[in-house]
């Protein structure tokens, strides 16, 4: 395949700003993909954040930019679940904002940044002072900005009752000249227009479908035996964190109703930051269902290696090739990285028809086993058939991969990012 690389005039020095660019959270992953695309186009990328695993020579770490910084967390703790804030809290917000604003000036000056790309920092108010600092910096400098929004405050119940609506209206997101707003789904695009009268471009989450998915190699060949499965077992992979919105109880119910002793549910990630109640619920469901579930978060990491007990650590991409089926029964997703990964690795997937999937993904023609909040008998029968019928699996895999290549590949983001830069600098494509 001949790859067309779009350019927008001279290469630019692009600065990504966020609370963290570290680990495998969705924002960090999507940022890395954008960086790869922009560097292909001869732009130079830099990072500012509170937690970084980016190249040191191109990074500006500001601990206060991380939402988990003790000073920031203390302030944030007073902002939600109430409708008023004290003058002391207001002063603390401003104090942190001013220091972060100084840091932004240092970052831009040090690396001679020409384009700013806030990553979710002007969308979800996990760090209110950082959003205010970025907004004020843009207002003072007029720097060309591509604001990449993954989640908004109105999409999360915990931000509904708050004492900072003045700040949310001002900075989450801001309405300023020379900002190109980018969202990851059409629902966010419509809500941004309705609530703030701001236009936005949809750039969905992407994967590099132009490059074939990794296959089993010498390192990953023993995944099944290392987690206690045999070659004949059906590895049903739940490739998500253990948090309530992932709907993992449906995956447990699916395995129970398959009534096949070979079916083993493998959950790849640990719990989130939402407490232990959901994990306890799942343990009770597993006990009642009397099925085999493997929690293997201690064996999965960002890179290959060994864990604290000396056992091999695999990446998520080491697990996918071994999977017979992927479960993705989420109640809510901003987009759905795990869905893209499943079709990238040509695996059949059981998916709950969460709103973004129903609006932006399903109409494109993907072949999946769908459930709508309830796991129907039809879904169970479809699952049995897809696990039994190799020819059908291959046909679905081919259809889904080609659709992924068409709609969610790097080429999609490449074109749209080139257009955003062209708009900012008045250049033609």
* Cα 275 to Cα 54, 243, 287, 314, distances in angstroms: 29, 9, 20, 26
Instruction: Compute the average pLDDT of residues 383-403.
Output: 97
- What pLDDT score does 2 carry? 43
- What pLDDT score does 273 carry? 59
Query: Does position 8 have pLDDT exceeding 80, yes or no?
Result: no
**74-95 burial, b for 16+ CB within 10 Å, e for fewer?**
ebbebbbeeeebeeebbebbee
- What pLDDT score does 428 carry? 53
Q: Which residue has the tokens 């290696």?
A: 305
Q: How far apart are CA 68 and CA 369, in angstroms?
A: 38
Domain 220-407 sits in which CATH superfamily?
Glycogen Phosphorylase B; (3.40.50.2000)
The full set of domain ranges for the chain reads 13-206+410-425, 220-407
135, two tokens: 């907004």
Please tell me the CATH code under which domain 13-206+410-425 is placed.
Answer: 3.40.50.2000
Instruction: Compute the average pLDDT of residues 259-286.
Output: 89
Tell me the residue ranges of DSSP E strands in 296-383: 305-306, 312-313, 325-328, 349-352, 369-371
Q: How far apart are CA 367 and CA 357, in angstroms?
A: 13
If you average pLDDT over every residue of the chain, what do you get? 94
Per-residue pLDDT tens digits for 26-78: 899 999 999 999 999 999 999 999 999 999 999 999 999 999 999 999 999 99
Of 162, 198, 200, 206, nearest to 183 by C-alpha is: 200
- What pLDDT score does 4 carry? 47
Q: How far apart are CA 352 and CA 359, in angstroms?
A: 13
Per the document, the length of the chain is 429
- What pLDDT score does 109 carry? 98
- What pLDDT score does 1 carry? 41
- What pLDDT score does 272 carry? 65
Q: How far apart are CA 90 and CA 60, in angstroms?
A: 27
Per-residue pLDDT tens digits for 350-361: 999 999 999 999
Per-residue pLDDT tens digits for 86-99: 999 999 999 999 99
Per-residue pLDDT tens digits for 164-205: 999 999 999 999 999 999 999 999 999 999 999 999 999 999
- When pLDDT is cut at 50, 70 and 90, the band that residue 5 belongs to is very low
Per-residue pLDDT tens digits for 336-348: 899 999 999 999 9
Q: How far apart are CA 68 and CA 428, in angstroms?
A: 42
Instruction: Tell me if domain 13-206+410-425 and domain 220-407 are identical in fold.
Output: yes
Contact 189/183 with Cβ under 8 angstroms? yes
280, two tokens: 């306890």
Could you tell me which residues come within 8 angstroms of residue 3 by beta carbon, excluding any fewer than 6 positions away?
A: 210, 411
């Amino acid at each position: 395949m001949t790859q067309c690389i779009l350019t927008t005039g001279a290469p630019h020095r692009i600065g990504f700003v966020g609370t963290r660019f570290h680990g495998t959270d969705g924002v960090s992953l999507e940022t890395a993909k954008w960086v790869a695309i922009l560097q292909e186009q001869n732009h130079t990328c830099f990072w500012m954040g509170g937690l970084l695993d980016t190249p040191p020579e191109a990074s500006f770490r500001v601990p206060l930019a991380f939402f988990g910084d003790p000073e920031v967390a203390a302030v944030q703790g007073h902002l939600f679940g109430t409708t008023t804030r004290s003058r002391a809290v207001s002063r603390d917000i401003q104090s942190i904002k001013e220091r972060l604003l100084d840091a932004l000036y240092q970052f831009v000056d040090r690396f001679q940044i020409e384009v700013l790309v806030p990553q979710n920092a002007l969308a979800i108010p996990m760090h209110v002072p950082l959003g205010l600092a970025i907004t004020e910096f843009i207002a003072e400098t007029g720097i060309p900005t591509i604001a990449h929004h993954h989640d908004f405050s109105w999409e999360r119940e915990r931000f509904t009752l708050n004492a900072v609506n003045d700040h949310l209206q001002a900075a989450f997101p801001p309405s300023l000249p020379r900002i190109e707003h980018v969202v990851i789904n059409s629902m966010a695009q419509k809500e941004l227009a309705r609530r703030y009268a701001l236009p936005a471009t949809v750039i969905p989450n992407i994967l590099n479908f132009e490059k074939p998915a990794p296959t089993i190699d010498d390192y990953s060949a023993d995944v099944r035996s290392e987690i206690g499965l045999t070659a004949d077992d059906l590895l049903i992979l739940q490739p998500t964190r253990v948090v309530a919105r992932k709907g993992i109880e449906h995956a447990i119910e699916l395995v129970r109703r398959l009534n096949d002793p070979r079916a083993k549910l493998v959950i790849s990630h640990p719990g989130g930051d939402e407490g232990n109640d959901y994990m306890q619920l799942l343990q009770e469901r597993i006990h009642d269902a009397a099925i085999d579930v493997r929690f293997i978060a201690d064996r999965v990491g960002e890179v290959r290696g060994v864990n604290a007990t000396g056992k091999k650590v695999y990446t998520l991409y080491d697990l996918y090739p071994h999977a017979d089926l992927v479960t993705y029964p989420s109640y809510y997703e901003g987009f759905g990285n795990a869905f893209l990964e499943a079709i990238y690795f040509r695996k059949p997937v059981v998916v709950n028809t969460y709103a973004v999937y129903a609006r932006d993904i399903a109409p494109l023609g993907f072949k999946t086993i769908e459930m709508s909040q309830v796991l129907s008998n039809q879904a169970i029968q479809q699952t049995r058939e897809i696990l039994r019928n190799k020819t059908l699996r291959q046909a679905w895999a081919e259809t889904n991969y080609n659709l992924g290549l068409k709609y969610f590949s790097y080429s999609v983001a490449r074109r749209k990012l080139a257009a955003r830069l062209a708009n900012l600098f008045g250049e033609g494509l």
